[in-house]
Amino acid sequence: MNERIYSPAEANAELGELRERLPRLREARHALIASSERITEAVGADGGGVEGGDWFRAQQALGAEVRWLADRGILLRDPESGLIDFPYELEGRTVFLCWKLGEGDIGYYHETHAGYGSRKPL
């Protein structure tokens, strides 16, 4: 599969959907962690017997959100803060447009070998 390259306008066009999906992804992740802990505690206490439906629902919800991102070539960097990267071509090289949930339009990028702390204004 070829890596999708975004323009800033194309990446900004995804932000409305991302503002809805990233909190759902974070909630599903929290639910998965919590249900995993409940199952682990139950197994340790009595050998099991815990209904795993919450775990499966959370796993399916998390998987759906991660697949949605992957299908669009959007890279999830931190599910807790909603930090994502979009591949972007700048001066003949691939860099990442960098955005975090709660920010306005995309205004930063960083090199592929760097991260959030190395963001530069577009």
Asked whether 85 and 6 are in contact (CB, 8 A), the reply is no
pLDDT at 9: 98
Using alpha carbons only, how large is the chain's radius of gyration in Å? 18
28-79 tens-digit pLDDT: 998 888 887 777 776 665 655 556 677 788 889 889 999 999 999 999 999 9
Cα-Cα-Cα-Cα torsion 94, 101, 25, 80, nearest 10 degrees, comes to 90
pLDDT at 1: 44
pLDDT computed for residue 89 by the predictor: 97
pLDDT-derived band of residue 94, with 50, 70 and 90 as boundaries? Answer: very high
The predicted model scores a pTM of: 0.83
